[in-house]
Amino acid sequence: MFTGIIQGLGQIRGMQPQSGDLRMTVAAGKLDLSDVQLGDSIAVSGACLTVVELQRDTFAVDVSRETLDKTLLGRLTTGSLVNLEKALRLTDRLGGHLVAGHVDGVGHIREVSVSGRSQVFAIAAPPDLLRYIAAKGSICVDGISLTVNALRGDTFMLNVIPHTLAQTTAAQWRSGHAVNLEVDLIARYLERWVATDPGSELKLKVTRDSLAAKGFPV
C-alpha cells in the first residue's frame, strides 16, 4: 500500500527481457534504500513492484506480462525518469490517499495550461475508468496522488503545484504524453457493494439512491 507522495525521482539503468517479461534496474536517486530489503515493495511510476536485487543506490524488479500490458513500464528506455515511493508503514502520515500500486489503465494528456504558478493538465481517461473519477476526488497519475478539479466529458482536470512539478516526472508531461492511472479504491468498493445480490443485507443498506442522497457521485 502507498500514499501517492513521491519520495524520489529514479532513472532506468537497464531493461533486460526475460522469457516474455522484464527485469528492470533502477537508480534510486534521492530515495533512501538503507531500510529496503529483498522482497520489499516499491512503486515505480505508480506500479507496485517487488525488489529482487539490491545495491547501495540501485535496485532491480521483475515486471510481469500483466503489468507490461496494463502500464507504460514496457515503453521506458535506459535513462527514463520514474517516480519512486516505498511501501507505506502503519506509522507514516497519509499525506495523499490510499494507493494500491495496481495501475488500472493508461490515460493521455490532451492539454497543458498555466494557472498562476501551477500547471493545469487535461487528461483523457479510458471509458471504463471514467465512472470512478469524481470532481474533488483523488486519482493516482504515474504514482502521484492528485485531486481532480473538474470533469469534462472523457477528460479530467488536474492542478499541479510547483513543488510537485519539481519533485516528480509531472514536469515532463506534455500534450500527447501517456500516463499510468489508478482510480480511488473507495470508488471501486462502493461499486461492488451496490452490485451485490438484491436480497443481501448489504444491498438493503446501500443503493444508488441512498449514495446519491449522501452526496456520492453515482
Q: Where do the structural domains in the chain lie, given as residue ranges?
A: 8-86, 105-183, 184-218
How many CB atoms are closer than 10 A to CB 142?
Answer: 29
| CATH T-level fold of 8-86 | Elongation Factor Tu (Ef-tu); domain 3 (2.40.30)
pTM, entire model: 0.87
Beta-bridge mates of residue 148? 158
First-to-last CA distance in the chain? 26
130-188 per-position pLDDT tens digit? 999 999 999 999 999 999 999 999 999 999 999 999 999 999 999 999 999 999 988 88
Tell whether domain 105-183 is in CATH 2.40.30.20: yes
How many CB atoms are closer than 10 A to CB 103?
Answer: 24
pLDDT along the chain (218 residues), means of 10: 96 94 96 97 98 97 95 96 96 92 96 96 96 94 97 96 97 97 88 66 63 73
Domain 8-86 shares a fold with domain 105-183: yes
Q: If you compute the radius of gyration of the chain from its CA atoms, what whole number of angstroms results?
A: 18
Identify the sign of the CA torsion 83, 88, 92, 96.
positive
